[in-house]
Amino acid sequence: MSVELIKGSHFRNLAINRPPDTYGRLTLLNSVGQEISRCKTSMRRGQPNPVYKETFVFQVALFQLSDVTLLISIYNRRSMKRKEMVGWIALGQNSSGEEEQLHWQDMRESRGQQVCRWHVLLEA
């Protein structure tokens, strides 16, 4: 399974008056919520509308697609050690909403074609 995190928009840094330093984390979970695999994008510094355009490949058999969840979360790095989650969505078995469930279904039925959708992050 190939996943591309393309871009974000309207990210704000509420603590200070400048755009946040953000990165995305993609975590693949099995049917009981255990982590199978994880990866993250590189940091985008000071961008309210960051363009990530990074592709990640997860090893998932076709028959397993109905049993996994892809958790996508965006983090704001506030300092060297401190980070805070900006928001998240989940696609797959435990989708975070109807739009995410439809995206996962379209992706499974696409037979190798790219399926691209915008999603609104849920508050952390």
Q: For the chain, what is the domain count?
A: 1
Q: Which domain holds residue 55?
A: 2-123
Give the single-character DSSP code of 71.
E
70: domain CATH number is 2.60.40.150
Whether the model pTM is above 0.95: no
pLDDT at residue number 53: 95
Burial 60-92, CB ≥16 within 10 A → b, else e:
beeeeeeebbbbbbbbbeeeeeeeeebbbbbbb
Instruction: Render pLDDT for 73-103 as a digit per residue (tens, 0 to 9).
Output: 999 987 677 888 999 999 999 999 999 999 9
| 33 token code pair | 């919520």
